[in-house]
A and B are shown apart, each in its own frame.
Chain A
């Protein structure tokens, strides 16, 4: 990603990143736990998320069921772990594809002013005028309530924020003297875009990327809760909240625990995003 990422500057990167305080460290731990539980879910639990045990409905936490069971006797801990898997896949897929499309559109619109730029930006504006949750709901129903379908639907909602950000950055960056200088030494326009303009957008892009990871998890849970996202009985956190809130007074953990998971992961991504932004900026590297 960075052009000259040698050992020295990597050490500095780590120093700045972890030097930002206990919050970044806690958040990183949360994200690591989140990722590992998603990856290792089949190993961490003897149950499968769909396995029912009707003799054990609403069982309280015990040695056999660490967090108890839900309304039809499925192991709740297992479902949370598999929920992490779904959240991780959906958020990564949607953010990466939104990022790639959004950044390319933004670079083109910002660098080549004119008709292409007007068309791209007006389409993006039009999309921004539609509430993204409703937009994703409709798209999700059209594309299908599968995991890739959800990733596409949620990703489309995130494209405008990438495009607008890159567009604005490129508009101001391209008037810098170093862009003129690169053109004068004979650098091609594509290379100027990729070697000068894109790297200078990195800092805010990383923040947007991590935030959109968080947002995607939230939107995914929201859609699932509303019943237009990933469909039950798939153990998505949103599905679990929506099933669990019916028993909120008797068994609050069924709704609160998956909600808490969503919140922790979203906040952790945002904090880590801020840390990354500082650590990746060479202007701050020496100072912090």
Chain B
């Protein structure tokens, strides 16, 4: 199914599904499955950032970790630089392993409490199975600490001796130590203070610029994603419902879920905030164990019709690289 596209994306995901079996009883009989990621496709071009947004439990983190093969995809293809890595064995994936890195959500749990910064980075540098002299490692650690704007004196610190922002910088440095091409950022700022969030986002942008990195940026905070992403994909219950240029998310949101999501973003200007019209969704997000048939959003959608209950709408291009999965786009936009 690989089409010949002039500028080949660095990562192309096709029909990715990640289901988790639910097992019960003594024999571990499978009684159901959680469709965490259900048939999604997207592509990221080199040097760009794809923002993946959605609420808790919509499968955005699972998507990111599935691409890194932390979770085994149930089906679908993941083309990294044209090679399908979805089904590769551990040995086969080794040459790609270090090119795909992850920045974690939790800066506390992602660093080994018994390793100093120096030990953490040394490990990441030396696991490439090449020879490194002590001087080379030292120089590389200094270079990495400078890249993430940490003081060189930090290298003797242990994780518990650092702030959340500093730890997150160490996490970024560890990812960079592998000379990655694609980094999955799994809500890298959601555990940080707002002031630190901005610093980390700007650092990520700077690194992207200087090192030509490609990001898959997972977040639930629309303003953060808007700030860093080139393309934004909105996920709901394991499916991508809208895919658009980042500038379009505020200018021209089309899917009813995207609209509701946007209307929930508070505005700091009090006068404007008073005027803000909120779209209140009824009900709760259905469980991904028995997701509704058809469009997953239909039980909560004002515009739902019978078609929505039966068939999942396809992501359809509406021009300008904007894709929406909705049967009733006409009514929604009016």
Task: Name A205-235 residues within 8 Å CB distance of B.
Answer: none
Contact between A282 and B68, CB atoms less than 8 A apart? no
Pair B177/A186 contact, Cβ less than 8 Å:
no
Known A283-B160, A286-B161; contact A185-B98, beta-carbon cutoff 8 A: yes
CB-based nearest B residue for A181 = B110
Q: Is B254 an interface residue (CB 8 A)?
A: no
B79 to chain A, nearest CB (A): 19
CB distance from B57 to the nearest CB of A (A): 18
Q: Which residues of B contact A196 (CB under 8 A)?
A: 112, 114-115
Q: Which of B111, B127, B171 contacts A187 (CB under 8 A)? A: B127
Expressed in whole angstroms, the Cα–Cα distance for A187 and B115 within the complex equals 15
| B178 in contact (CB, < 8 A) | yes
**Could you tell me the distance between the alpha carbons of A185 and B126 in the complex, rounded to whole angstroms?**
9
> Contacts A180-B70, A286-B161 given: A186-B98 contact, CB under 8 Å?
yes
Collect the chain B residues with CB atoms within 8 Å of residue A4's CB: 116, 118-119
With contact pairs A4-B119, A195-B123 given, residues A185 and B177 touching in the complex (Cβ less than 8 Å): yes
Query: Does B97 count as interface, using CB distance less than 8 angstroms?
Result: yes
Minimal Cβ-Cβ distance residue in B for A175: B109
B111 with A178: CB separation less than 8 A: yes
A177-207 contact mask (Cβ, 8 Å, vs B): 1 or 0 = 1101111111100000001100110100000
- Find out whether the CB atom of A187 lies under 8 angstroms from the CB atom of B123: yes
Q: Is B114's CB under 8 angstroms from A181's CB?
A: no
Query: What's the least CB distance linking A9 to chain B, in Å?
Result: 9
Would you call A55 an interface residue if the criterion is a C-beta within 8 Å of the partner chain's C-beta atoms?
no
Among the interface residues A2, A176, A178, which one has the most CB atoms of the partner chain B within 10 A?
A178
A3 to B94, CA, bound (A): 27
Q: Which of B56-104 contact A (CB under 8 A)?
A: 68, 70, 94, 97-98, 100-102, 104
Residues of B within 8 A of A182 (CB): 112, 123
B113 near A: Cβ within 8 Å?
A: yes
Kindly state the separation between the CA atoms of A182 and B171 in the bound complex, as whole angstroms: 11
- Give chain B residues whose Cβ lies under 8 Å from the Cβ of A195: 123
Question: Are A178 and B110 CB-contacts (below 8 A) given A185-B178, A186-B98?
Answer: yes
Q: Which residues of A contact B127 (CB under 8 A)?
A: 185-187
Residue of B nearest to A8 (CB): B156
A181 to B168, CA, bound (A): 13
Distance of A38 from chain B, by nearest CB (Å): 33
- Chain B residues near A177: list those with CB within 8 A: 104, 106, 109-110
Q: Give per-residue flags for A245-288: 1 if the beta carbon is below 8 A from chain B beta carbons, else 0.
A: 00000000000000000000000000000000000001100100
Task: Give the chain A neighbours of B123 by CB distance below 8 A.
Answer: 182, 185, 187, 195
* Pair A178/B112 contact, Cβ less than 8 Å: yes
Instruction: Decide if A184 touches B113 in the complex (CB within 8 Å).
Output: no
Task: Say yes or no: A282 contacts B160, CB within 8 Å.
Answer: yes
B115 close to A3 (CB less than 8 A): yes
B134–chain A nearest beta-carbon distance, Å: 13
Q: Which of A133-184 contact B (CB under 8 A)?
A: 176-178, 180-184
Whether the Cβ atoms of A184 and B114 lie closer than 8 Å is: no
Q: Contact at A181–B104, with CB atoms within 8 Å?
A: yes
**A–B Cβ pairs within 8 angstroms, 29 of them:** A3-B114, A4-B116, A4-B118, A176-B110, A177-B106, A177-B109, A178-B109, A178-B112, A180-B102, A180-B104, A181-B102, A181-B104, A181-B171, A184-B70, A184-B97, A185-B97, A185-B123, A185-B127, A186-B94, A186-B127, A186-B178, A199-B112, A199-B114, A200-B114, A282-B113, A282-B114, A283-B158, A283-B160, A286-B161
14 more CB-based (< 8 A) A-B contacts, given A177-B110, A184-B101: A177-B104, A177-B106, A181-B171, A183-B70, A184-B70, A184-B97, A185-B97, A185-B177, A185-B178, A186-B94, A186-B97, A196-B114, A202-B114, A283-B160
Binding site for A on B (CB under 8 A): 68, 70, 94, 97-98, 100-102, 104, 106, 109-116, 118-119, 123-124, 127-129, 158, 160-161, 171, 174, 177-178
The 8 closest A-B pairs by CB, nearest first: A177-B110, A186-B127, A178-B112, A185-B124, A177-B109, A177-B104, A199-B114, A186-B97
